[in-house]
Amino acid sequence: MKSALSFLMAARRSEIAGLQRLSLTSELVGAIGRLVHALQRERGLSNLYLGSQGQQWAAERAAQVALSQGLQAEVERAFDQLDTDAARSGHRARLFGRIAYALQGLSALPRLRERVASRQWSTDRTVAAYARLIQALLAVVFEAADSAWDPGISRHLVAFLNFLQGKEFAGQERATGSALFAAGRADADSQQRLLHFIESQERCIQVCTDLASPAIGTLWQEAQRPEHLMPLERMRRILCTTTPGGTLDAGQSQPWFDACTRRIDAMKTVEDALAAELQGLCQLRLEATARELSELERVAGRSADRPQSDGAPDFFDDGADPGLPAMAHAGNGFGAPMDQSILELVRDQARRLQRMGDELDTVRASLNERKTVERAKGLLMAHRHLSEDEAHKTMRQMAMNQNKRLIDVAEAVLAMADVLPVRSR
């Protein structure tokens, strides 16, 4: 029969195997961040190219495509490194499902690029296509964050996801603004979208700095240099307040693109720091858990020789105070693990897992906003026979019209679920 101690050790070994998987996942997530960054640049350049009727930006765009391709290969390598052997991989069906979806997007990317090169697609359609691919990649990060069982790592993954999502809003802001300037004419719909992107990116960054370490918050503050922000804010004002139909200076296209890019590149340094912190955290947790395991193994080796004495407190005694951290008992260094009964070890573990579960619930709550939006979108798709993009646009339009946040609209949609008419086709 396996002993309590053997299950304690199995629990730690299971944690270690899980942490090794999380470490690989963190590497993957970092690679996705880098690819998304490149795709955002590629989108911006594609729009400049389309906006100039193919007269400019062709070379810059081609160079960026080459960079994206290199980073795509890295992401695909990271996908390949994931252990998909069912017997060993734990339950990762959702992560694999998201990856399958993202891979579909990546494999369609060459055709999208041809359509841009030959100017078959409009800027709007191109922005939407890149945005869809980037969302598919971010969904992999979302799944990684949602399925991480370690609260510290999950917290970091959620912070990272929010940062990437915020940066994507900044990227969409850049693309939309570039297209507006290049077209030389203000229009109300694009202006609304710009405002939405500005507000959304600020909210995402806020969630990220709330969850990440103080060092990240400091880095973010430093990345916001006034001499870079000032020209951006001036152009934002021009873009958003020019009367619809009014003329915009097409010559501002490049300064706008450059100002946005400076800001996004500065964000990239924060992103890299977040990715590095995540990797470091996985390493620390792995080392700590390995130490705890070898401690347990030492206890197991010794207790095999010595049966527990009859006078020792057992499961049904209230003697040991569960309110005290058990390591306090083991603090004298000499033979300490022997003095700490296996019962205490088991109780410790139970308390620790309870605490981890509580923390995890708290961290996951910050993912629920996204889940609520997805659920509302699914409801609209089913009830109104909309495509995913249409459902998203509908909700975004509702949010703009009512001057509400997307999450508020999503909650309203879900609250109306029972009364939503099912439209027959």
Interface pick for a copy of itself out of 79, 160, 169, 220 (rule CB under 8 A): 79
Which residue from 346, 400, 412, 420 is in contact with a copy of itself, where contact means CB under 8 A?
346
Binding to a copy of itself (CB under 8 A) within 180-209 occurs at none
- Residue 225 makes CB contacts below 8 A (sequence gap 6+) with 266
Q: Which stretch binds a copy of itself (CB under 8 A): 4-12, 27-35, 194-202, 276-284?
A: 4-12
Shortest Cβ 75–a copy of itself spacing (Å)? 10
> Least distance in Å: CB of 211 to a copy of itself?
20
Q: Which stretch binds a copy of itself (CB under 8 A): 248-256, 267-275, 278-286, 321-329?
A: 321-329
> 377 to 396, contacts with a copy of itself by CB under 8 A?
378, 381-382, 385-389
52 is an interface residue for a copy of itself by CB under 8 A: no
Q: Hey, how many other C-beta atoms are within 10 angstroms of the C-beta on 31? A: 22
> What string marks each residue from 5 to 34 as x (binds a copy of itself by CB under 8 A) or -?
xxxx-xxxxxxxxx----------------
Binding segment (CB under 8 A) for a copy of itself, from list 36-44, 190-198, 247-255, 340-348: 340-348
Which of 62, 63, 66, 93 binds a copy of itself (CB under 8 A)? It is 93
Q: How far is the CB of 121 from a copy of itself (least distance, A)?
A: 9
Footprint of a copy of itself on 113-172 (CB under 8 A): 129, 132-133, 136, 149
d(CA 341, CA 107): 57
Stretch touching a copy of itself by CB under 8 A, among 49-57, 280-288, 372-380, 403-411? 372-380
- Does 354 bind a copy of itself (CB under 8 A)? Our answer is yes
Provide, rounded to whole angstroms, the least separation between the CB of residue 26 and a copy of itself: 15
Span near a copy of itself by CB under 8 A; candidates 38-46, 79-87, 184-192, 207-215: 79-87
User: Shortest approach of a copy of itself to residue 219 CB, angstroms?
Assistant: 30
Rounded least distance, CB 131 to a copy of itself, Å:
10
Q: Which is nearer to a copy of itself, 137 or 270 (CB)?
A: 137
Judged by CB under 8 A, does residue 337 bind a copy of itself?
A: no
In the region spanning residues 219 to 238, those forming contacts with a copy of itself, defined by CB under 8 A, are none
* Between 79 and 163, CB nearer to a copy of itself: 79
| Count of residues that bind a copy of itself according to CB under 8 A | 79
From 70, 225, 358, 416, residue interacting with a copy of itself (rule: CB under 8 A)? 358
**SS3 sequence, the chain?**
CCCHHHHHHHHHHHHHHHHHHHHHHHHHHHHHHHHHHHHHHHHHHHHHHHHCCCCCCHHHHHHHHHHHHHHHHHHHHHHHHCCCCCCCCCCCHHHHHHHHHHHHHHHHHHHHHHHHHCCCCCHHHHHHHHHHHHHHHHHHHHHHHHHCCCHHHHHHHHHHHHHHHHHHHHHHHHHHHHHHHHHCECCHHHHHHHHHHHHHHHHHHHHHHHHCCHHHHHHHHHHCCHHHHHHHHHHHHHHHHCCCCCECCHHHHHHHHHHHHHHHHHHHHHHHHHHHHHHHHHHHHHHHHHHHHHHHHHHHHHHCCCCCCCCCCCCCCCCCCCCCCHHHCCCCCCCHHHHCCHHHHHHHHHHHHHHHHHHHHHHHHCCHHHHHHHHHHHHHHHHHCCCHHHHHHHHHHHHHHCCCCHHHHHHHHHHCHHHCCCCCC
Residue 89 contacts a copy of itself per CB under 8 A: yes
Closer residue to a copy of itself (CB): 102 or 264? 102
User: Rounded to whole angstroms, how far apart are CA atoms 421 and 146?
Assistant: 32
- Comparison of 13 and 228: residue with beta carbon closer to a copy of itself: 13
240 binding a copy of itself? (CB under 8 A): no
Residues of this chain, 247-306, that bind a copy of itself according to CB under 8 A: none
In sequence order, the 6+-apart residues with CB closer than 8 A to the CB of 134 are: 36, 39, 40, 168, 171
CA distances from 224 to 77, 217, 311 (A): 34, 11, 65
